[in-house]
């Protein structure tokens, strides 16, 4: 029997989607290449929260959003390549929130004096605190890049919580994704170690899933018990209402869930290539909507995710230049496209 999946036509995007969040009203907010912030309502209506952030920020070069997060009051925070964070209110007003432009160094302090080096990820907890994963590529001791995990508290103070160079359990050269749960646990995708790590509120670091640093080359994907599961390239992370960890794996082209101490694929089914084909490990890229476990994705260029109140997941599929939607009942559709 042929199964037909009913869906609305995909929304047309003005350019490539780069960052995505969902607000309290289930509006999907997208930063698209070139500076526009686009809103898509649950009934498919589109608008621009601000036509072009270059018009609101009187300086040059114009900001390029490298990370974006949203708080419970629907304020959007955007980190730009010039080492500052901007705040976009629901009424479209843009203002400098934290950091000193062009300083490219690291300094804790208040919002006006704190400095950032190279922000790659930002997440907001239920209380409005903002967490940042920031690369320090100064390489001043010839040991390579490392990461700082920093926090902007609701009282306006910026502090450094962890340093991947100084913490043995956290050591990595590449953080590929970050998520925060409702009780303040921080989850990090260790792209170099092929695993996901957890930082508890008391600072304790543990491995949540994946066998960290077991295979530098020729990785394999093993589902099942988190103590034995193996990952290839864990990327962006989100946490659903149940507290389950969901992440995209950019080399497997899959959406994967960690729940009940097990690792399992929830979307994506492309053929995993033999190790002899690619020593870094990967599956074949594709593009196909339908039932989640038959859908195909193309993540190596970019993957970013957000979740709405109904537990639908919106996924930036960078290789296909579009946003896919994974519904709560397990159907993948194309939600918006730049093609």
What token pair was written down for 308? Answer: 């709405």
pLDDT tens profile 250-267: 999 999 999 999 999 999
User: What's the pLDDT score for residue 48?
Assistant: 87
Is the pLDDT assigned to residue 41 strictly greater than 90?
yes
User: What's the pLDDT score for residue 92?
Assistant: 83
User: What's the pLDDT score for residue 226?
Assistant: 95
Angstrom distance (rounded) from CA 105 to CA 65? 19
pLDDT tens profile 183-241: 999 999 998 899 999 999 999 999 999 999 888 888 899 999 999 999 999 999 999 99
Q: Please indicate, yes or no, if residue 229 is contained in any of the structural domains.
A: no
Q: Please indicate, yes or no, if residue 68 is contained in any of the structural domains.
A: yes
Q: Please indicate, yes or no, if residue 157 is contained in any of the structural domains.
A: yes
| Cα dist from 325 to 100, 251, 290, 315, 322, whole Å | 37, 19, 10, 6, 10
CATH number of the domain that residue 141 is part of: 2.120.10.30
* Residue 60 lies in domain: 52-166
Q: Please indicate, yes or no, if residue 189 is contained in any of the structural domains.
A: no
Quote the pTM value: 0.92
Q: Please indicate, yes or no, if residue 82 is contained in any of the structural domains.
A: yes
Closest CA to 268 of 235, 310, 308: 235
Out of 50-54, 67-71, 82-86, 231-235, which region has the weakest mean confidence (pLDDT)? 50-54
Is the pLDDT assigned to residue 60 strictly greater than 70?
no
Euclidean distance between the first and the last CA atom of the chain, given in angstroms as a whole number: 31
Q: Please indicate, yes or no, if residue 151 is contained in any of the structural domains.
A: yes
User: What mean pLDDT is reported for the chain?
Assistant: 89
Q: Please indicate, yes or no, if residue 47 is contained in any of the structural domains.
A: no
Q: Please indicate, yes or no, if residue 3 is contained in any of the structural domains.
A: no
> Do 81 and 64 contact (CB within 8 A), yes or no?
yes
User: What's the pLDDT score for residue 29?
Assistant: 97
Band of the pLDDT at 35, cuts 50, 70, 90? confident
Angstrom distance (rounded) from CA 137 to CA 113? 21
Is the pLDDT assigned to residue 80 strictly greater than 60?
yes
- Counting the structural domains of the chain, the total is 1
DSSP 63-121: P-EEEEEE-TT--EEEEETTS-EEEE-TTS-EEEEE--TT--S-B-EETTT-B-S-EEE
């Amino acid at each position: 029997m042929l199964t037909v999946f009913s869906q609305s036509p995909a929304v047309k995007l003005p350019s490539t989607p780069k960052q995505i969040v969902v607000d309290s009203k289930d509006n999907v907010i997208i930063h698209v290449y070139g500076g526009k912030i686009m809103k898509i309502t649950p009934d498919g209506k589109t608008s621009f929260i601000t036509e072009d952030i270059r018009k609101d920020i009187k300086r040059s070069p114009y900001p390029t959003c490298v990370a974006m997060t949203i708080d419970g009051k629907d304020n959007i925070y955007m980190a730009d390549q010039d080492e500052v964070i901007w705040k976009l209110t629901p009424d479209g007003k843009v203002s400098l929130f934290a950091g000193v432009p062009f300083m490219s160094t690291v300094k804790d302090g208040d919002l006006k004096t704190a400095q950032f080096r190279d922000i790659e990820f930002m997440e907001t907890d239920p209380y409005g605190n903002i967490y940042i994963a920031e690369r320090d590529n100064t390489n001043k001791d010839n040991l390579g890049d490392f990461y700082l995990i920093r926090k902007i508290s609701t009282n306006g103070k910026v502090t450094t919580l962890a340093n991947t160079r100084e913490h043995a359990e956290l050591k990595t050269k590449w953080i590929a994704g970050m998520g925060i749960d409702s009780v303040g646990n921080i989850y990090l995708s260790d792209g170099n170690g092929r695993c996901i790590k957890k930082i508890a509120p008391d600072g304790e670091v543990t491995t949540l899933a994946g066998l960290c640093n077991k295979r530098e080359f020729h990785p394999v994907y093993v589902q099942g018990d988190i103590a034995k599961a193996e990952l290839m390239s864990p990327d962006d992370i989100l946490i659903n209402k149940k507290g389950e960890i969901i992440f995209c794996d950019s080399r497997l082209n899959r959406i994967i869930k960690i729940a009940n101490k097990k690792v399992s694929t929830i979307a994506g089914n492309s053929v995993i290539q033999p190790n002899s084909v690619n020593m870094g490990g990967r599956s074949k890229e594709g593009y196909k909507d339908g039932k989640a476990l038959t859908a195909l994705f193309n993540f190596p260029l970019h993957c970013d995710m957000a979740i709405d109140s109904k537990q639908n997941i919106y996924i930036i599929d960078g290789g296909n230049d579009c946003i896919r939607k994974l519904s709560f009942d397990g159907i993948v559709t194309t939600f918006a496209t730049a093609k």
